[in-house]
Amino acid sequence: MTAEAVQAWLAKNAPDLPLIVVEETTATVDAAAKALGVEPGRIAKTLAVRAGEQTFLIVARGDARLDNRKCKDEFGARPRMLGPEETLALTGHAVGGVCPFGLKTELPVYLDQSLKAFDTVYPAGGSLNTSVEVSTERLFALVAERWVDLCRLPEPAGP
């Protein structure tokens, strides 16, 4: 699966949402934020995670970190990020382009509460230089099973 698979999924499920293609890489939060001209928190990063017997995707704001304690409390097991090969095999998207659209395998998708700080966010679009601009509530309606509180925000910068 690639940006083309995401484009096909969007055409079927959200034809009003265009795939944004940029020259620069969007493979990391900082690179995506720079390429799209937005703050890193608005990048909606998609993490492929296993906690015990459960495998799922978490979409969180770009500057948030997965909190092991919160995840263990929610799912009963410590979270483990999937490796690049397993992520590609399950989602159809390579690391750096993983998104909740056009998945190869049906997986539960959870949106982290951290995304609620923004009206509009930018998840990846299936490749290393694509993204989608979407309202947070619309993203939830399109792909998510439920809201979760699994991440912690960065510490505020000191004086």
Residues 30-40: tens digit of each pLDDT:
999 999 999 99
How many structural domains are present in the chain? 1
Q: Are 141 and 100 in contact (CB under 8 A)?
A: no
In a domain? residue 15: yes
Tokens of 6: 């995401």
Among 120, 113, 110, 153, residue whose Cα is nearest residue 36:
120
Strands (E), the chain: 19-21, 43-51, 54-61, 65-66, 79-81, 109-112, 120-123, 130-132, 134-135, 146-148, 151-152
The amino acid occupying position 54 is Q
Q: What range does the domain containing 60 cover?
A: 3-152
pLDDT for residue 8:
93
Least reliable range by pLDDT among 11-25, 66-80, 119-133, 144-158? 144-158
pLDDT for residue 125:
94
In a domain? residue 157: no
In a domain? residue 71: yes
Mean pLDDT of 54-68: 95
pLDDT for residue 2:
80
In a domain? residue 75: yes
The CATH number covering residue 90 comes to: 3.90.960.10
Q: How far apart are CA 11 and CA 8, in angstroms?
A: 5
pLDDT for residue 119:
97
Helix (H) or strand (E) holding 70, with range, is helix 68-75
Mean pLDDT of 4-25: 94
In a domain? residue 159: no
Extract long-range pairs of 14-17: CB within 8 Å, 24+ residues apart.
14/134, 14/138, 14/142, 17/132, 17/133, 17/134, 17/138
Helix (H) or strand (E) holding 95, with range, is none
In a domain? residue 90: yes
Q: Are 57 and 110 in contact (CB under 8 A)?
A: yes
In a domain? residue 158: no
pLDDT for residue 155:
76
pLDDT for residue 157:
64
pLDDT for residue 159 is more than 70? no
